[in-house]
Amino acid sequence: DAGVIQSPRHEVTEMGQEVTLRCKPISGHDYLFWYRQTMMRGLELLIYFNNNVPIDDSGMPEDRFSAKMPNASFSTLKIQPSEPRDSAVYFCASSSGRGQPQHFGDGTRLSIL
Amino acid sequence: GESVGLHLPTLSVQEGDNSIINCAYSNSASDYFIWYKQESGKGPQFIIDIRSNMDKRQGQRVTVLLNKTVKHLSLQIAATQPGDSAVYFCAENPYSGGYQKVTFGIGTKLQVIP
Protein backbone atom coordinates (compact mmCIF):
# COMPACT_ATOMS: atom_id res chain seq x y z
CA ASP A 1 0.00 0.00 0.00
CA ALA A 2 1.20 3.51 -0.75
CA GLY A 3 2.13 5.55 2.26
CA VAL A 4 1.85 9.29 2.69
CA ILE A 5 3.39 11.00 -0.31
CA GLN A 6 4.96 14.43 -0.08
CA SER A 7 6.41 16.65 -2.75
CA PRO A 8 8.84 18.10 -3.39
CA ARG A 9 11.42 16.23 -1.31
CA HIS A 10 13.75 19.21 -1.36
CA GLU A 11 13.09 22.88 -2.01
CA VAL A 12 15.62 25.68 -2.07
CA THR A 13 14.37 29.17 -2.72
CA GLU A 14 15.15 32.78 -1.95
CA MET A 15 13.45 34.67 0.80
CA GLY A 16 10.31 36.45 -0.24
CA GLN A 17 9.28 33.71 -2.63
CA GLU A 18 6.11 31.69 -2.25
CA VAL A 19 6.59 28.06 -1.29
CA THR A 20 3.96 25.35 -1.71
CA LEU A 21 4.33 21.93 -0.14
CA ARG A 22 2.09 19.09 -1.17
CA CYS A 23 0.76 15.99 0.52
CA LYS A 24 -1.28 12.96 -0.47
CA PRO A 25 -2.51 11.09 2.59
CA ILE A 26 -3.14 7.37 2.83
CA SER A 27 -6.43 6.51 1.19
CA GLY A 28 -9.22 6.19 3.73
CA HIS A 29 -7.51 8.23 6.42
CA ASP A 30 -9.78 10.96 7.77
CA TYR A 31 -7.12 12.96 9.60
CA LEU A 32 -4.24 14.88 8.06
CA PHE A 33 -1.49 16.64 9.96
CA TRP A 34 1.26 19.08 9.03
CA TYR A 35 4.39 19.16 11.20
CA ARG A 36 7.64 21.08 11.15
CA GLN A 37 10.89 19.62 12.48
CA THR A 38 13.94 21.68 13.40
CA MET A 39 17.00 21.07 15.51
CA MET A 40 15.94 23.87 17.83
CA ARG A 41 12.33 22.91 18.46
CA GLY A 42 11.98 19.29 17.47
CA LEU A 43 8.70 18.12 15.93
CA GLU A 44 5.92 20.72 16.07
CA LEU A 45 2.32 20.32 14.97
CA LEU A 46 1.27 23.17 12.70
CA ILE A 47 -2.29 22.24 11.78
CA TYR A 48 -4.56 19.26 11.40
CA PHE A 49 -7.66 18.46 9.37
CA ASN A 50 -10.53 16.07 9.89
CA ASN A 51 -12.62 15.17 6.86
CA ASN A 52 -10.93 18.01 4.94
CA VAL A 53 -11.90 20.62 7.55
CA PRO A 54 -9.18 22.42 9.55
CA ILE A 55 -9.67 21.59 13.21
CA ASP A 56 -6.74 23.16 14.99
CA ASP A 57 -4.34 25.64 13.42
CA SER A 58 -2.94 27.02 16.67
CA GLY A 59 0.53 25.79 15.73
CA MET A 60 0.73 27.82 12.53
CA PRO A 61 3.51 30.32 13.18
CA GLU A 62 1.95 33.37 11.60
CA ASP A 63 -0.24 34.60 8.80
CA ARG A 64 2.44 33.85 6.25
CA PHE A 65 1.51 30.18 6.64
CA SER A 66 -1.69 28.74 5.24
CA ALA A 67 -2.94 25.21 4.64
CA LYS A 68 -5.76 23.81 2.57
CA MET A 69 -7.32 20.46 1.97
CA PRO A 70 -9.58 20.73 -1.09
CA ASN A 71 -10.36 17.01 -1.09
CA ALA A 72 -9.64 13.82 0.82
CA SER A 73 -6.56 12.98 -1.20
CA PHE A 74 -4.67 16.25 -1.31
CA SER A 75 -3.42 18.98 0.97
CA THR A 76 -1.09 21.94 0.59
CA LEU A 77 0.94 24.02 3.00
CA LYS A 78 1.87 27.42 1.65
CA ILE A 79 4.34 29.97 2.93
CA GLN A 80 4.12 33.44 1.47
CA PRO A 81 6.42 35.30 1.73
CA SER A 82 9.07 32.83 2.87
CA GLU A 83 11.83 33.78 5.33
CA PRO A 84 15.14 32.10 6.23
CA ARG A 85 13.75 31.09 9.64
CA ASP A 86 11.17 28.94 7.86
CA SER A 87 13.97 26.56 6.86
CA ALA A 88 13.08 23.16 8.29
CA VAL A 89 11.81 19.73 7.36
CA TYR A 90 8.05 19.73 6.91
CA PHE A 91 6.17 16.50 7.41
CA CYS A 92 2.68 15.47 6.52
CA ALA A 93 1.00 12.61 8.36
CA SER A 94 -2.38 10.94 8.22
CA SER A 95 -4.38 8.65 10.46
CA SER A 96 -7.66 6.78 10.39
CA GLY A 97 -8.94 8.25 13.61
CA ARG A 98 -8.73 8.48 17.34
CA GLY A 99 -6.48 5.98 18.99
CA GLN A 100 -4.78 5.10 15.72
CA PRO A 101 -1.17 5.87 14.85
CA GLN A 102 -0.24 8.67 12.52
CA HIS A 103 1.71 7.63 9.45
CA PHE A 104 4.27 10.09 8.16
CA GLY A 105 5.61 10.94 4.75
CA ASP A 106 9.33 11.38 4.21
CA GLY A 107 9.08 15.14 4.43
CA THR A 108 10.08 18.18 2.42
CA ARG A 109 13.44 19.68 3.32
CA LEU A 110 12.98 23.42 2.84
CA SER A 111 15.86 25.86 2.68
CA ILE A 112 15.16 29.57 2.39
CA LEU A 113 18.21 31.56 1.42
CA GLY B 1 30.39 28.11 14.99
CA GLU B 2 28.86 25.74 17.47
CA SER B 3 25.38 24.56 16.54
CA VAL B 4 22.61 25.13 19.03
CA GLY B 5 19.66 22.85 19.27
CA LEU B 6 17.96 20.10 21.16
CA HIS B 7 20.44 17.84 22.87
CA LEU B 8 19.07 14.39 22.25
CA PRO B 9 19.89 11.78 24.83
CA THR B 10 22.02 9.09 23.21
CA LEU B 11 22.04 5.40 23.96
CA SER B 12 24.95 3.34 22.67
CA VAL B 13 24.41 -0.40 22.54
CA GLN B 14 26.53 -3.29 21.34
CA GLU B 15 25.08 -5.22 18.44
CA GLY B 16 23.18 -8.23 19.74
CA ASP B 17 22.44 -6.69 23.14
CA ASN B 18 19.00 -5.55 24.24
CA SER B 19 18.15 -1.84 24.18
CA ILE B 20 15.84 -0.02 26.55
CA ILE B 21 14.67 3.47 25.65
CA ASN B 22 12.76 5.39 28.28
CA CYS B 23 10.20 8.15 28.08
CA ALA B 24 8.36 10.19 30.67
CA TYR B 25 5.02 11.59 29.57
CA SER B 26 3.31 14.58 31.04
CA ASN B 27 -0.45 14.36 30.60
CA SER B 28 -2.27 12.07 33.02
CA ALA B 29 -5.24 12.18 30.63
CA SER B 30 -3.21 10.51 27.89
CA ASP B 31 -4.43 7.00 27.26
CA TYR B 32 -2.84 6.13 23.95
CA PHE B 33 0.90 5.95 23.42
CA ILE B 34 2.99 5.38 20.36
CA TRP B 35 6.64 4.75 19.62
CA TYR B 36 8.20 5.99 16.38
CA LYS B 37 11.56 5.38 14.76
CA GLN B 38 13.13 8.06 12.59
CA GLU B 39 16.08 7.27 10.37
CA SER B 40 18.17 10.01 8.81
CA GLY B 41 16.39 11.70 5.92
CA LYS B 42 13.10 9.94 6.56
CA GLY B 43 9.86 10.59 8.37
CA PRO B 44 8.97 9.04 11.72
CA GLN B 45 7.93 5.42 11.25
CA PHE B 46 5.33 3.78 13.49
CA ILE B 47 6.78 0.92 15.54
CA ILE B 48 4.26 -0.04 18.20
CA ASP B 49 1.46 1.44 20.26
CA ILE B 50 -0.22 0.73 23.58
CA ARG B 51 -3.43 1.81 25.24
CA SER B 52 -3.78 2.70 28.89
CA ASN B 53 -5.75 -0.44 29.71
CA MET B 54 -2.56 -2.43 29.09
CA ASP B 55 0.83 -2.34 30.77
CA LYS B 56 2.75 -4.38 28.22
CA ARG B 57 2.55 -5.06 24.52
CA GLN B 58 4.89 -7.07 22.35
CA GLY B 59 5.72 -6.84 18.68
CA GLN B 60 8.44 -8.31 16.57
CA ARG B 61 11.64 -7.83 18.63
CA VAL B 62 10.04 -4.88 20.42
CA THR B 63 8.15 -4.58 23.68
CA VAL B 64 6.51 -1.48 25.10
CA LEU B 65 5.92 -1.14 28.83
CA LEU B 66 3.59 1.40 30.35
CA ASN B 67 3.62 2.50 33.98
CA LYS B 68 0.73 4.89 34.49
CA THR B 69 1.51 5.41 38.17
CA VAL B 70 4.74 7.22 37.39
CA LYS B 71 3.78 8.25 33.83
CA HIS B 72 6.60 6.29 32.27
CA LEU B 73 6.89 4.46 28.99
CA SER B 74 9.71 2.28 27.74
CA LEU B 75 10.63 0.59 24.48
CA GLN B 76 12.68 -2.57 24.61
CA ILE B 77 14.43 -3.80 21.49
CA ALA B 78 15.72 -7.35 21.61
CA ALA B 79 18.97 -8.38 19.90
CA THR B 80 19.69 -4.87 18.64
CA GLN B 81 20.91 -4.71 15.06
CA PRO B 82 22.78 -1.99 13.13
CA GLY B 83 19.55 -1.21 11.28
CA ASP B 84 18.00 -0.18 14.58
CA SER B 85 20.25 2.88 14.71
CA ALA B 86 17.88 5.85 14.59
CA VAL B 87 16.12 8.43 16.74
CA TYR B 88 13.21 7.01 18.70
CA PHE B 89 10.25 9.15 19.75
CA CYS B 90 7.51 8.41 22.20
CA ALA B 91 4.19 10.15 21.66
CA GLU B 92 1.14 10.55 23.88
CA ASN B 93 -2.46 11.19 22.91
CA PRO B 94 -5.41 11.84 25.19
CA TYR B 95 -8.12 9.65 23.73
CA SER B 96 -11.31 10.84 25.32
CA GLY B 97 -13.46 13.78 24.29
CA GLY B 98 -12.64 13.85 20.63
CA TYR B 99 -9.35 13.77 18.81
CA GLN B 100 -6.63 15.55 20.70
CA LYS B 101 -3.20 16.53 19.53
CA VAL B 102 -0.44 13.98 19.75
CA THR B 103 2.52 15.28 21.75
CA PHE B 104 5.96 14.00 20.76
CA GLY B 105 8.95 13.74 23.06
CA ILE B 106 12.33 15.13 21.99
CA GLY B 107 13.61 11.70 21.04
CA THR B 108 16.47 9.40 21.97
CA LYS B 109 19.26 8.59 19.56
CA LEU B 110 20.16 4.90 19.49
CA GLN B 111 23.64 4.07 18.25
CA VAL B 112 24.39 0.43 17.62
CA ILE B 113 28.05 -0.52 17.87
CA PRO B 114 28.94 -3.33 15.47
The pLDDT assigned to B105 comes to 87
Instruction: Mark yes or no for CB contact B104/A91 under 8 Å.
Output: no
**Minimum-distance CB partner of B46 among A39, A42, A103:** A103
pLDDT-based confidence at A49, cuts 50/70/90?
very high
Q: Is A10 on the interface with B (CB under 8 A)?
A: no
The pLDDT assigned to B2 comes to 44
The pLDDT assigned to A97 comes to 84
Instruction: Mark yes or no for CB contact B49/A101 under 8 Å.
Output: yes
Interstrand relation of A10-13 and A108-112 (parallel, antiparallel or unpaired): parallel
Instruction: Mark yes or no for CB contact B102/A55 under 8 Å.
Output: no
Average pLDDT over residues B48-75: 96
pLDDT in tens, B21-36: 999 998 888 889 999 9
Residue B87: what residue type?
V
What is the per-residue burial (b if ≥16 Cβ within 10 Å, else e) of B63-83?
A: bbbbeeeeeebebbbeebeee
CA dist., res. A33 & res. A103, Å (int):
10
pLDDT at A100 over 70: yes
**Minimum-distance CB partner of A104 among B44, B93, B99:** B44
Average pLDDT over residues B91-112: 82
pLDDT at B100 over 80: no
A33 compared with B93, residue with greater pLDDT: A33
Q: How high is the mean pLDDT of chain B?
A: 90
CB-CB neighbors (< 8 A) of B41 in chain A: 106
The pLDDT assigned to B4 comes to 56
Tell me if B33 sits within 8 A of B91, measured CB to CB.
yes
Highest mean pLDDT among A12-26, A47-61, A88-102: A12-26
pLDDT at A43 over 80: yes
A99 compared with B9, residue with greater pLDDT: B9
Using CA coordinates, name the residue in chain A closest to B34: A101
To the nearest whole percent, how much of chain A has pLDDT over 70?
A: 99
Instruction: Mark yes or no for CB contact A55/B99 under 8 Å.
Output: yes
DSSP SS3 for B99:
coil
The dihedral through the CA atoms of A96, A46, B8, B43 has a sign that is positive
Q: Is A2 on the interface with B (CB under 8 A)?
A: no
Burial of B21 by CB count in 10 Å (0-12 exposed, 13-18 middle, 19+ buried)?
Answer: buried
Q: How high is the mean pLDDT of chain A?
A: 95
The pLDDT assigned to B22 comes to 95
B94 alpha carbon, distance to own chain's centre: 17
CA dist., res. A95 & res. A64, Å (int):
26
Instruction: Mark yes or no for CB contact A98/B98 under 8 Å.
Output: yes
pLDDT at A79 over 50: yes
Residue A44: what residue type?
E
Using CB atoms and an 8 Å cut-off, which of residues 48-87 of chain B contact chain A?
Answer: 49, 51
Using CA coordinates, name the residue in chain A closest to B39: A106
> From edge to edge, which strands make up the β-sheet containing A19-24?
A5-7, A19-24, A74-79, A65-71
The pLDDT assigned to B96 comes to 59
CA dist., res. A106 & res. A26, Å (int):
13
Using CA coordinates, name the residue in chain B closest to A46: B101
State how far the alpha carbon of A53 is from the alpha carbons of A19, A48, A50, A92, B72, in Å: 22, 8, 5, 16, 34
CB-CB neighbors (< 8 A) of B3 in chain A: 39
pLDDT at B97 over 90: no
The pLDDT assigned to B6 comes to 66
